[in-house]
Structure 1
Amino acid sequence: MKTAVITGAGSGIGQAVALRLAEEKHHIVILDFDTEAGGKTADTIKAAGGSAECLACDVSNTESVAKAFEQISEVHILVNNAGIAAIGNVETCSPEELDKIYGVNVKGIYHCLHYAIPKMLSTGEGAIVNLASIASKVGIQDRFAYSMSKGAALSMTLSVARDYVDKNIRCNCVCPARVHTPFVDGYLEKNYPEDELAEMFSKLSEYQPIGRMGKPEEIAELIAFLTSDKAGFITGSAYDIDGGVTLLR
């Protein structure tokens, strides 16, 4: 049984990834700041006959990540999913907001790579998937800090893939467009009156030329492939899963 470590799996894409990788009979280790949400995902996996646990972890904090990985004996798969969003351009982005985005979306990936890769070297194999974004590749209006962080996710993917290509450790990233998660619903409810929600949901959906947002399960299916032995010849790649957004750019 392989051990798959997934950050931020209490909801959305991370939760879908945890549930999907559990179907591959992996032991799932969820690292989540929200242990209640992460614990519910682990309980769902165990109720279905799988193996899972949730460890408290703030990916932006070095000591927190180090402590979490001290409790994990082996790591075969790592999915760096935890992330936060920010809206605004370089003028409206405050230094504090930039630091917060950097701490979670960039340093969080670094921390998990830093502590997981030695364990992968010990086990003799590793498959890593980082959650990047179409923002890694195209300019998106009013997403300065977020785009910065996702560009870094792509760059770190390439760097790790190159450094460990001869160590049986593969590293790839996925670049989704907008995915329908609880975050999207919360964003709409927070920023728009009830009578505008349906219209704004349609606008967010139509941004993707295919006419809808992605589903967390669709992202999870791609990640399941990239972390499997079937993808053994793939490393250093960034996979668009975007409903045609980059196709028409």
Structure 2
Amino acid sequence: MASIRMGAIRFANEGAKVVVADWNGEDAEQVAAVHGEKGIKVNAICRGTIRMPMTKEMLKTRPTDKIPVRRFEEVQEVAELVVFLVSDQAKFMNGAAISIDGGYTVL
């Protein structure tokens, strides 16, 4: 895995896997293109609004009618995507921007 500080990415070693939430696809593509030959994978998770304790009050007033699945996402759903992306099952994925937003971006 890599650490991110003040916009810079520091890779622990070759073969590192980077999963960054809240990047856009262009950022993931650019970084993946630069570091791919070193075996470093970069994929972006483009998430929606997550239901968690710190968003509980805010979500009471936010409608879900613009989300096709009519609900907010759960932390576990994003965590499962992260686990997949760092697993060997995603070993050929690089430079992808994966939307996990209940279909919000397709509208």
Task: Give the TM-score, by structure 2 length.
Answer: 0.84
Secondary structure of 1:175's aligned partner: strand
Percent identical: 27
- Deviation, 1:207, is 3.0
Aligned residue in 2 for 1:215 = 74
Distance, in Å, in 2 between the alignment partners of 1:216 and 1:78 is 21
Q: Which has the higher contact order (CA 8 A, sep 6+)?
A: 2
The 8 Å contact of residues 129 and 172 in structure 1, kept in 2 or not, is answered as yes
Change (3 A) 1:79 1:240: farther
Task: Give the aligned CA root-mean-square deviation in angstroms.
Answer: 2.0
Residue 177 of structure 1: aligned partner: 48
Matched residue, 2:16: 126
Q: Secondary structure at the match of 1:164?
A: helix
Alignment-mate amino acid for residue 180 of structure 1: R
Tell me which amino acid in the other structure corresponds to 2:30: S
**1:243 CA displacement:** 0.8
Q: How far off its partner does 1:78 sit?
A: 3.5
Cα deviation 1:110-145 (Å, max 9, x = unaligned): 23x1xx22x22xxx311001112xxxxxxxxxxxxx
Q: Which has the higher strand share?
A: 2
Q: In the alignment, is the contact (CA less than 8 A) between 1:179 and 1:216 conserved in 2? A: yes
Shift of residue 157, structure 1, vs aligned partner = 1.7
Which of 151, 154, 165 matches 2:36?
A: 165
Corresponding letter in the other structure for 1:129? V
Q: Give the TM-score of the pair, scaled to structure 1.
A: 0.39
Aligned length: 106
Taking the TM superposition and a 5 Å limit, the aligned residue runs for 1:147-166 are 153-154=23-24, 155-166=26-37
Between structures 1 and 2, the one with greater helix share: 1
- Residues 222 and 185 from structure 1, CA distance in 2 versus in 1: closer, same or farther, beyond 3 angstroms? same
Structure 1 runs (4+) greater than 4 angstroms displaced? none
Change (3 A) 1:79 1:181: farther
- Taking the aligned partners of 1:239 and 1:187, their CA distance within structure 2 comes to 25
Q: Which residue of 1 aligns with 2:95?
A: 236
Residue 79 of structure 1: CA displacement?
7.1
Q: Distance in 1 between matches of 2:3 and 2:52?
A: 18
